[in-house]
């Protein structure tokens, strides 16, 4: 198959491209390197089955008349850390544009080509959820004007656009709501796992925002990629929405302790500043639908996954 991956030079996108190439597919990566890195796809560029175009994904028509069988739309900044230069808070207009206009253009592109389409949405569409764990039917507790709204609300609109193309234009589209994912090829973009691991490896304090009692559920990237492909390829997923993530919930303090254990670091855990505005207090996916329909569930436990990330970072340095 010929497969288009937008955001293919990013963390998840490059892992997806790599997996698809291993599966023998022809992969076209469309990425403007806004938050991604050429380094992520350096190895992939050696394959004759892989092509890269440095272009805004909303300008997909510039690719000319290549016919694709699948369109995975992952392009979007993804880090909420206000200290990070490439977070979506630092790129508010780019973030809104690619998730709204970009999703519109790509859904239309897939529909006119007769290609299957997948939109990478996020657990952030549930906002600061009042129900735990979050099921797909839950409508969330989201702010249209809060700090995170440029991301949350544009992803919500991206979901609406995808659904409208399915409903009114017969697009073969689906949506995955991705919960916090970590693993090799992560950039140091302010997200908690990579910040803690890098701080621990450098012997710096692990910076906690708030009291550290807020929770997240962390999924290893290989598990997530398997779920994304299953959402695209399984029968009867047209028009469906799937939560993809790991059900094991940890406080941020527990994560910090686990990172210290895995790295063997003696770094302090430091309460750095107040919890940022709009920062969700609890987050945990209900993945019973993905288990039932996709026959998918994550296999890698947090400690093992962190070990793999640390091994990867050390091998890159050596
Ligand atoms: P990332 O920042 O590593 O990758 C995003 C990629 O999109 C980058 O390579 C970037 O350069 C590219 N990009 C951004 N705007 C673009 C545009 N206009 N045109 C072309 N390319 C563009 O982030 P990631 O963690 O790999 O996230 C990938 C997708 O998954 C995003 O849509 C994100 O919202 C979603 N997601 C990720 C997570 C996670 O835990 N990693 C959680 C929820 C949702
Ligand atoms: N966080 C933290 N220290 C950091 C980065 C993040 O304590 O250096 C916290 C952040 O406030 C949030 C959680 O860790 O409560 C997860 O943050 P992340 O940026 O990974 O993504 P989010 O799940 O908030 O989108």
Q: Which CATH number characterizes residue 115's domain?
A: 3.40.50.720
* pLDDT of amino acid 225: 98
Q: Residues 182-227: pLDDT tens digits? A: 999 999 999 999 999 999 999 999 999 999 999 999 999 999 999 9
Above 90 in pLDDT, residue 68? yes
Q: Where are the beta strands (DSSP E) in 183-230?
A: 206-209, 215-217, 219-220
pLDDT of residue 316: 87
Name which of 214, 310, 212 is nearest 269 in CA terms: 212
Which conformational region is residue 197 in: left (phi greater than 0), alpha (psi within -120 to 50 degrees), or beta? alpha
Report yes or no on 260 lying in a domain: no
Q: What is the pLDDT of residue 317?
A: 79
The pocket around ligand 1, CB under 6 angstroms, is made up of 6-7, 9-13, 30-36, 56-58, 74-78, 94, 98, 102, 120, 122, 178, 180-181, 187
278 within domain boundaries: no
Considering the domain boundaries, does residue 314 fall inside one? Answer: no
pTM for this predicted structure: 0.98
Task: Identify the pLDDT of residue 75.
Answer: 98
Structure confidence at residue 318 (pLDDT): 73
Question: How much is the pLDDT for 146?
Answer: 95
pLDDT at 27 over 90: yes
Residue 235 located in a structural domain: yes
From the CA of 73, give the closest atom in ligand 1. Answer: 32
Cα 239 from Cα 171, distance rounded (Å): 8
What whole-number percentage of the chain has pLDDT above 90? 98
Mean pLDDT of the chain: 97
Expressed in percent and rounded to 5, the helix, strand and coil fractions of the chain are 40, 20, 40
CA of 56 to the centre of ligand 2 (A): 28
Q: Indicate which atom in ligand 1 lies nearest the CA of residue 102.
A: 18
How close is the Cα of 267 to the center of ligand 1, in Å?
30
Cis peptide bond upstream of 133, omega within 30: yes
Please determine, for residue 36, whether its predicted confidence score (pLDDT) is greater than 90: yes
DSSP state of 9: T
pLDDT of 278-309, one tens digit each? Answer: 999 999 999 999 999 999 999 999 999 999 99
**Is 95 domain-assigned?**
yes
Question: How far apart are alpha carbons 1 and 235 in whole angstroms?
Answer: 17
Judge whether 30 lies within some domain.
Answer: yes
Spatial separation of the C-alpha atoms in residues 205 and 234, rounded to whole Å: 44
Q: What is the pLDDT of residues 96-123, one digit of tens each?
A: 999 999 999 999 999 999 999 999 999 9
User: For residue 173, what are the β-bridge partners?
Assistant: 117
Total structural domains within the chain = 1
Residues near ligand 2 (Cβ within 6 A): 79-81, 180, 191-192, 195, 207-209, 214, 216, 252, 276, 279
Angle between helices 149-169 and 92-99 in degrees, nearest 10: 10
Does residue 172 form part of some domain?
yes
* Nearest CA residue ID for atom 14, ligand 2: 192
Residue 124 has pLDDT above 90, yes or no: yes
| Domain coverage including residue 79 | 2-181+219-246+284-299
Both tokens assigned to 304? 């093992």
> Does residue 196 fall inside a structural domain?
no
Cα–Cα distance for residue pair 40/15, rounded to 1 Å? 8
Question: Ligand 2, atom 1: nearest CA belongs to which residue?
Answer: 192
**Mean pLDDT across the stretch 239-244?**
98
252, 255, 274, best to mutate for ligand 2 pocket (most atoms within 8 Å of CB): 252
Cross-strand bridge partners of residue 5: 29, 72
């Amino acid at each position: 198959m010929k497969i288009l991956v937008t955001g293919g030079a990013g963390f998840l996108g490059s892992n997806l491209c790599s997996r698809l190439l291993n599966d023998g597919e022809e992969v076209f990566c469309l990425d403007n390197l806004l938050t991604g890195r050429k380094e992520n796809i350096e190895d992939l560029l050696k394959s004759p089955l892989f092509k890269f175009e440095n272009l805004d994904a909303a300008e997909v028509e510039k690719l000319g008349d290549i016919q694709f069988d699948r369109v995975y739309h992952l392009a979007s900044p993804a880090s909420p850390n206000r200290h990070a230069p490439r977070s979506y808070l630092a790129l508010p207009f780019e973030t809104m544009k690619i998730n709204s206009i970009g999703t519109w253009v790509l859904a239309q592109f897939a529909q006119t080509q007769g290609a299957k389409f997948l939109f990478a949405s996020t657990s952030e569409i549930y906002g600061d959820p009042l129900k735990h764990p979050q099921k797909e039917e839950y409508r969330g507790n989201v702010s249209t004007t809060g700090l995170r709204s440029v991301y949350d609300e544009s992803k919500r609109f991206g979901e609406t656009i995808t659904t409208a193309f399915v409903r009114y234009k017969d697009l073969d589209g689906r949506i995955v709501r991705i919960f916090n994912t970590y693993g090799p090829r992560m950039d140091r973009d302010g997200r908690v796992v990579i910040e803690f691991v890098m701080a621990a490896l450098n012997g710096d304090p692990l910076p906690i925002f708030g009291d550290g009692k807020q929770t997240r559920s962390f999924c290893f990237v290989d598990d997530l990629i398997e779920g994304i492909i299953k959402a695209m390829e399984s029968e009867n997923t047209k028009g469906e929405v799937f939560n993809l993530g790991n059900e094991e919930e940890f406080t941020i303090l527990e994560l910090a302790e686990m990172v210290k254990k895995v790295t063997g670091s003696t770094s302090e855990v430091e309460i750095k500043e107040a919890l940022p505005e709009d920062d969700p207090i609890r987050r945990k996916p209900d993945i019973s639908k993905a288990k039932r329909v996709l026959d998918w569930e994550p296999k890698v436990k947090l400690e093992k996954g962190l070990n793999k990330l640390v091994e990867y970072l050390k091998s890159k340095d050596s």
